[in-house]
Amino acid sequence: MVYFRLGNIIYAYTPKQKLPLGELLKKQELLREEQLSAALGEKERRPNKRIGEIFVEKGFVSRLAMEEAVRRQVEELIYRMLHWESGNFKFYENEFPTEEEVLIQISTENLILEGVRRLDELEWVKERLPDLGTVLSIKPIPAQRIRDLALQGEEWNVLALVDGRKDIYQIIERSNLDRLVTLKSLAALFLAGLVEPVPDGQNTTGREKLEGLVEKLSVLLETYREKV
């Protein structure tokens, strides 16, 4: 289960491996057994109090540490999902975690980017990309979405080659980076929704393409400057 709000991931878990917050903190050695027992006893006396608030109130663990523990669990889950070859999914609108859960805020694009960076399998990377003859362009950012991008140097270099005219093969040939690095960067940008195939038969002049590219890159660079 992966929960989103405004395009960002706020919580995720696997039903077979879901751990209560106390057990998760114990597993990550942030909480001792006796502290968990004391907090659960307090929870019985004050059933309307969230268990996480009790941990913080008693000084057993900081809110920042709780959020970081949940964040690590969510990140590892998403990284594992990137290895899936097939599966079924359902989408539910306006459903959110229970009040017992600690919610976080993770950029979906950055999580996908980091997940692909961790992969070394060339075939996996190639299978996630369109045909090498596909022309790519920078994907516009929806008006309602604010992207907190954390691109690395290699990804910026590859993104600069995406101009709406070069296909994937030409981008690889023009890149001064290693072939696998270029492919991984393209796959990361594609899976994160930052680049997209140019529709067949799209008729735009070179000047229009250049103006569109400059505008899109300006938005991305502005996001990058604000982050720095």
pLDDT at 111 over 70: yes
What's the confidence (pLDDT) of residue 205? 44
Whether pLDDT at 193 is above 80: yes
Q: Which two tokens stand for residue 105?
A: 């805020």
**156-178: pLDDT as tens digits:** 999 999 999 999 999 999 999 98
CA distance 108 to 23: 26
The pLDDT tens digits of the residues spanning 5-59 come to 888 999 888 877 667 888 888 888 899 999 999 999 988 888 888 788 889 889 9
pLDDT tens for 51-104 read: 888 898 899 999 898 888 888 888 888 888 888 878 899 999 988 877 667 888
Range of weakest confidence among 62-76, 98-112, 209-223: 209-223
* Banded model confidence at residue 210, pLDDT cuts 50, 70, 90: low
φ/ψ region of 164 (left if φ > 0, alpha if ψ in -120 to 50, else beta) reads left
Task: Spell out the SS3 assignment of the chain.
Answer: CEEEECCEEEEECCCCCCCCHHHHHHHCCCCCHHHHHHHHHHHHHCCCCCHHHHHHHCCCCCHHHHHHHHHHHHHHHHHHHCCCCCCCCCCCCCCCCCCCCCCCCECHHHHHHHHHHCCCCHHHHHHHCCCCCCEEEECCCCCCCCCCCCCCHHHHHHHCCCCCCCEHHHHHHHCCCCHHHHHHHHHHHHHCCCEEECCCCCCCCHHHHHHHHHHHHHHHHHHHHHHC
For 138-144, the CB contacts below 8 A with 24+ separation are 138/162, 138/164, 138/194, 138/195, 138/213, 138/216, 138/217, 138/220, 139/193, 139/194, 139/195, 139/196, 139/216, 140/216, 141/216, 141/219, 141/220, 144/6
